[in-house]
Amino acid sequence: MKAKLIDGKAIAAAVRADLAAEVETLKAGGTEPGLAVILVGEDPASQVYVRNKTRACAEVGIHAEEFRLPADTTEDELLALVAELNARTDIDGILCQLPLPKPLDDAAVIAAIDPAKDVDAFSAVNVGHIMIGDYTFLPCTPAGVMEMLHRSGVEVSGKRCVVIGRSNIVGKPMAMLLLHENGTVTVCHSRTENLAAVCREADILVAAVGRAKFVTADMVKEGAVVIDVGMNRDESGKLCGDVDFDAVAEIASQITPVPGGVGPMTIAMLLKNTVTAAKRRAK
């Protein structure tokens, strides 16, 4: 393996240490950052995510409140809870763990969260602010990727950047953040022709497609920086990313592992957004 490992765990720990110091300062001034986490139903993956987020909040001194609702909760009941949390002055951020059980509507719940408390940055208002470059919050995963690039000494300006995947949560905002830093950005998806050839042009390649080991060595340019956003299981049930790590690591200059890459950064950025919201309240 010749690629240098971009250690998401270590970078996230450094971000959390910075945030813990900021939280101390806020508390000394009489403001305790507060995050409300809503979990509907019994989805095991969602339960793990919520537990990790709550634990991370405790680590940096953010007050986290969990609201666990049964799977048969009605949309009216869920929206009533969101309205109540919007009104609470001690809650700076509201996170509703997605996807919601059917027939609940993810979009309706996202739209109901006050944009000033939308620490996932999923609302149309916050997405619009990201588009024009005038934002308070950034979506946690793309923001985490940018933080990793900055702290690993990767210059984005002038580079060819390829993002595989066009989801609202990762692909689209990822492209915007790279564009804001003067990258030349291509977004690829299931209809992209000559995908491997397009990917081979990338100085920075971000894989967010949700398919195990989708990015193979022949899709990567010598010396590229490869960021793997995927979280999948391989044929033997082992956790893996969207990138064939062992093969691509022989070609890339820097690469993120799975696990221990982008995942810890996503939670660190959620904490950062919550602290940002608390700082706005303190003002």
User: Which of 96, 37, 40, 50 is CA-nearest to residue 72?
Assistant: 40
Q: Could you say which of 7, 92, 97, 203 is catalytic?
A: 97
In a domain, 233, yes or no: yes
One domain for residues 145 and 110: no
Residue 48's CATH number = 3.40.50.10860
The enclosing domain of 177 has a CATH number of 3.40.50.720
How many structural domains is the chain composed of?
Answer: 2
The CA–CA distances, whole Å, from 75 to 40, 45, 95, 104, 209 equal: 11, 22, 16, 6, 30
192, 156: one domain = yes
What stretch of H or E contains 213?
Answer: none
Whether 151 and 96 map to the same domain: the answer is no
Grade residue 236 by pLDDT with cuts at 50, 70 and 90.
Answer: confident
The one-letter amino acid code at 113 reads I
Catalytic residue among 53, 117, 159, 272: 53
Report residue 228: phi and psi, to 5°: -110, 110
Instruction: Let me know if 97 is a catalytic residue.
Output: yes
Name the pLDDT band for 237 (thresholds 50, 70, 90). Answer: confident
Question: In this structure, are 180 and 250 located in the same domain?
Answer: yes
Active site residue 254: no
Quote the pTM value. 0.95
Catalytic residue among 7, 92, 118, 120: 120
| 270 within some domain | no
Out of 11-25, 35-49, 135-149, 189-203, which region has the weakest mean confidence (pLDDT)? 35-49
What the block records as the tokens of 59 is 């680590």
Residues 6+ away with beta carbon under 8 Å from 283: none
Q: What is the span of the domain harbouring residue 77?
A: 31-117
